[in-house]
């Protein structure tokens, strides 16, 4: 596959004709066109660079083609692209430059965020001297594109190791041959990072996502500004919020259902100086059950963080997901003392900012509490939102202050 794609990039690019609806999507500045909006196409090898035309043959730009995804094309330029590897290199350099002034107080952050950096199908995260690459489409998987990605990253960032994290399900959907996660370059796949002065171990070949939830990094610092007293970090993973709160709170309890995540949290805690008398404990449990039991037992906290996994994986799940968020937030609100802080998050793309606010407000009503919105936040700045591409905006993080 990759060889054919490489050849097709050099030869005249094949053409794809779009329906009026497909053209309208591009005019609305969304880079995706679905297969149902393709009205004519040459015989296109998987992962090809294609010229995009309207029904009358007018040239609209250049896209990356997938033979298997419902998202048949992803625009990469509104002009011609004679040399895809060169363009990929240029876009990676631009993504690095974009973050130079934006990203502060960390050596762990996202360098390339797919569509939001005009590189659909590519994610690159930096963890100090170890980089993590995720290839999500046929076009980005082509050998000559992969080579350009690695070369640019090595030249620009001089990492000690570059790791690939493979999502087997995505490769299957893209009809790409199976591949194992592993080192792509260099020797090093684990390292140590520092976010907002808090130290974390990073193992590039373990854990969820690419190892950490980098999109929450600025929210950790924000939460720490308000956190006080006794804190509970439900869905704590490797301790992102919990370890930031440890500096401000008298005690912190982290809860997660994943034992490996908690083992890492424990190691991370050991890396950081423990302020005198502060208590830090990790509990392996189902956070829903634990919150229900603690609420029933009248446990009280001053700070609670809720950062559950995405409840709505598709639009069909929306109502159920909203019910889940409401229940969880209601339990937490009932447990918070007056003046308490609730940091509540949703990473479900299908739950929009307005939906989330509405459901948290409904929980406050049922809890008979008034809450002030101290901050209404999203993902960290290294995860830019591209206007007109709602898929790039998925994380909500509210910081609320409770009064009775
Ligand atoms: N706050 C974390 C990220 C949380 S991601 C951070 O910033 O790093 C969601 C977490 O919820 C994952 O660690 C996952 O293991 C955990 N999880 C999923 N279902 C759970 C459940 N029912 N109870 C407790 N934890 C759960």
String of DSSP letters for 86-108: HHHHHHHHHHHHHHHTT--SBSE
CA–centroid distance, residue 213 to ligand 1 (Å) = 10
**Mean pLDDT of all residues belonging to the chain:** 94
Q: Which residue in the block uniquely carries the two structure tokens 């003392």?
A: 337
Residue 360's region, left for phi above 0, alpha for psi from -120 to 50, else beta, is alpha
Residue 235 Cβ contacting ligand 1 at under 6 Å: yes
CA–centroid distance, residue 310 to ligand 1 (Å) = 10
Alpha-carbon distance 243 to 247, whole Å?
Answer: 7
Q: Which residues contact 160 (CB under 8 A, 6 or more apart)?
A: 129, 130, 186, 187, 188, 191
Whether the per-residue pLDDT at 184 is higher than 90: the answer is yes
User: What pLDDT, on a 0 to 100 scale, did the predictor assign at position 6?
Assistant: 46
230-234 and 301-306: which strand pairing? parallel
Alpha-carbon distance 29 to 19, whole Å?
Answer: 16
Alpha-carbon distance 274 to 310, whole Å?
Answer: 32
Question: Looking at 236, 345, 347, 397, which residue is catalytic?
Answer: 347
User: What pLDDT, on a 0 to 100 scale, did the predictor assign at position 403?
Assistant: 87
Residue 347 among the catalytic residues:
yes
- List, for residues 19-48, the tens digit of each pLDDT value: 999 999 999 999 999 999 999 887 899 999
363 — pLDDT class (breaks 50, 70, 90): very high
Alpha-carbon distance 208 to 92, whole Å?
Answer: 24
CA–centroid distance, residue 340 to ligand 1 (Å) = 22
- Token pair for 12: 């005249």
The residue nearest atom 20 of ligand 1, judged by CA position, is: 257
User: What pLDDT, on a 0 to 100 scale, did the predictor assign at position 41?
Assistant: 81
Q: What is the DSSP letter of 65?
A: E
Q: Which residues contact 225 (CB under 8 A, 6 or more apart)?
A: none
Residue 237 Cβ contacting ligand 1 at under 6 Å: yes
Residue 197's region, left for phi above 0, alpha for psi from -120 to 50, else beta, is left
275 — pLDDT class (breaks 50, 70, 90): low
Residue 256 Cβ contacting ligand 1 at under 6 Å: yes
Angle between helices 318-335 and 287-296 (to 10 degrees): 40
Mean pLDDT for 311-335 is: 91
Share of residues in the chain with pLDDT > 70 (%): 97
User: What pLDDT, on a 0 to 100 scale, did the predictor assign at position 8?
Assistant: 43
- List, for residues 215-245, the tens digit of each pLDDT value: 999 999 999 999 999 999 999 999 999 999 9
User: What pLDDT, on a 0 to 100 scale, did the predictor assign at position 273?
Assistant: 82
Beta bridge partners of 71: 34
Q: pTM (2 decimals)?
A: 0.94
- List, for residues 57-84, the tens digit of each pLDDT value: 999 999 999 999 999 999 999 999 999 9
Whether the per-residue pLDDT at 116 is higher than 90: the answer is yes
CA–centroid distance, residue 70 to ligand 1 (Å) = 30
Cα four-point dihedral sign 279, 280, 285, 289 = positive
Whether the per-residue pLDDT at 3 is higher than 70: the answer is no
Helices (H) and strands (E) in the chain, counts: 12, 20
Whether the per-residue pLDDT at 10 is higher than 60: the answer is no
Residue 240 Cβ contacting ligand 1 at under 6 Å: yes
> 222 vs 66, 95, 157, 239, 329, CA distance in Å?
40, 25, 28, 15, 19
Identify the residue with better confidence: 53 or 207: 53
Whether the per-residue pLDDT at 7 is higher than 70: the answer is no
Counting from 1 in the atom list of ligand 1, the atom nearest the Cα of 220 is: 7
Helix residue spans in 197-280 (DSSP H): 217-226, 240-245, 259-271
Residue 69 Cβ contacting ligand 1 at under 6 Å: no
Alpha-carbon distance 350 to 391, whole Å?
Answer: 9
Mean pLDDT for 118-136 is: 98
Tell which one of 253, 256, 290, 345 to mutate to probe ligand 1, the residue whose CB is within 8 A of the most ligand atoms: 256
User: What pLDDT, on a 0 to 100 scale, did the predictor assign at position 4?
Assistant: 47
Alpha-carbon distance 346 to 336, whole Å?
Answer: 20
Share of residues in the chain with pLDDT > 90 (%): 89
- List, for residues 131-171, the tens digit of each pLDDT value: 999 999 999 999 999 999 999 999 999 999 999 999 999 99
Residue 174 Cβ contacting ligand 1 at under 6 Å: no
Identify the residue with better confidence: 7 or 277: 277
Alpha-carbon distance 118 to 113, whole Å?
Answer: 8
């Amino acid at each position: 596959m990759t060889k054919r794609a490489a050849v097709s990039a050099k030869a005249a690019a094949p053409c794809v004709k779009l329906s009026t609806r497909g053209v309208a999507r591009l005019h609305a500045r969304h880079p995706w066109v679905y297969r149902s909006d393709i009205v004519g196409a040459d015989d296109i090898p998987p992962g090809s660079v294609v010229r995009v035309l309207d029904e009358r043959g007018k040239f609209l730009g250049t896209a990356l083609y997938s033979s298997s995804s419902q998202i048949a094309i992803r625009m990469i330029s509104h002009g011609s692209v004679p040399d895809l590897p060169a363009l990929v290199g240029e876009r990676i350099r631009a993504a690095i430059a974009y973050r130079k002034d934006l990203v502060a107080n960390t050596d762990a952050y996202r360098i390339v965020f797919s569509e939001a950096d005009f590189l659909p199908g590519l994610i690159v995260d930096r963890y100090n001297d170890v980089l993590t690459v995720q290839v999500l489409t046929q076009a980005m998987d082509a050998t000559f594109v992969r080579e350009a990605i690695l070369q640019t990253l090595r030249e620009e960032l001089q990492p000690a190791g570059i790791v690939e994290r493979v999502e087997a399900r995505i490769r299957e959907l893209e009809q790409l041959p199976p591949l194992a996660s592993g080192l792509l370059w260099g020797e090093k796949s684990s390292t140590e990072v520092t976010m907002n002065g808090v130290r974390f171990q990073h193992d590039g070949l373990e854990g969820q996502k690419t190892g950490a939830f980098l999109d929450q990094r600025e929210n950790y610092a924000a939460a720490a500004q308000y956190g006080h007293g006794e804190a509970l970090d439900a869905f704590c993973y490797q301790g992102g919020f919990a370890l930031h709160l440890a500096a401000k709170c008298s005690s912190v309890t982290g809860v997660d259902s994943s034992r490996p995540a908690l083992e890492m949290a424990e190691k991370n805690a050991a890396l950081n100086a423990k302020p005198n008398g502060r208590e830090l404990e990790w509990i392996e449990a189902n956070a829903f059950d634990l919150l229900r039991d603690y609420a029933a037992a009248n446990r009280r906290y001053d700070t609670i963080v809720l950062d559950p996994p995405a409840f709505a994986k598709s639009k069909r799940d929306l109502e159920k997901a909203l019910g889940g968020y409401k229940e969880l937030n209601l339990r937490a609100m009932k447990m918070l003392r007056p003046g308490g802080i609730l940091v509540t998050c949703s990473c479900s793309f299908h739950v929009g900012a307005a939906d989330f606010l509405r459901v948290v407000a409904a929980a406050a009503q049922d809890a008979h509490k008034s809450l002030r919105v101290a901050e209404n936040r999203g993902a960290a700045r290294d995860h830019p939102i591209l206007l007109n591409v709602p898929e790039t905006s998925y994380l909500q993080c509210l910081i609320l202050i409770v009064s009775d």
